[in-house]
Amino acid sequence: MRSFKRWLDRSLAAQAVMIFLLGVGLSALFRRDDHPVLWVIQGFFYAAIGITFMAVHRRRATRAAGTDPRGLVELGRRIRHREVPSEPGERESMRRLVDDQLNLLERNRRWLPYWLGFMGLITAAVLALGVAAGSVTLPLVLAVAMIGFCCWIAWMRRRTLDRLHHMRAALREDHVRVS
């Protein structure tokens, strides 16, 4: 499983295949009456959008860190495991990456309540439409899934901030000891 996660983390092609398969599966689940060719077309569409966003994000992060995509993946792994690099060049790349990610999270902080509120409105609308149509089970499942997704977003944001603040402090301590 660990090698699968590492392969998925490093390869945009693997991520595209995963998004495509999830897109086809979700299209088949929610649009059973459509032709299977439409499921495949929608899967390609979802994969193209997802990979475009991931490639833009990866390119921006590699520029900020001053490293290549493989180095970026390695720096991300080290941040997740709270490992401080020993080489000065890697420490500098990690410092730039941590600063960039913290700045990005701080800039996006002001929009988080609006996005979560928008998702809440969508959840309420789906529930209202479900009650009006007489089918409560699927809208209730979707509402619970949306609430779980919003809680997961808030939890992951907090966890990422904790990791980045820890890494920033560790890099500063290491810099003070070296100087």
pLDDT for the residue numbered 158: 95
At residue 73, the 3 state secondary structure works out as helix
**CA-CA distance, 118 to 113, in Å (whole number)?**
8
Q: In the chain, what are the domain boundaries?
A: 1-65, 91-179
Provide the 10 A C-beta neighbour count for residue 21: 12
Is a pLDDT exceeding 90 seen at residue 86?
A: no
20-45: average pLDDT: 89
Residues 6+ apart with CB under 8 A from 58: 12, 69, 72
Write down the residue that tokens 């919003």 correspond to: 150
| pTM of the shown model | 0.76
How confident is the model over 47-80, as pLDDT tens digits? 999 999 988 988 998 898 888 888 888 888 899 8
Listed residue (20, 13, 160) closest to 97, CA to CA: 160
- Report percent pLDDT > 70 for the chain: 97
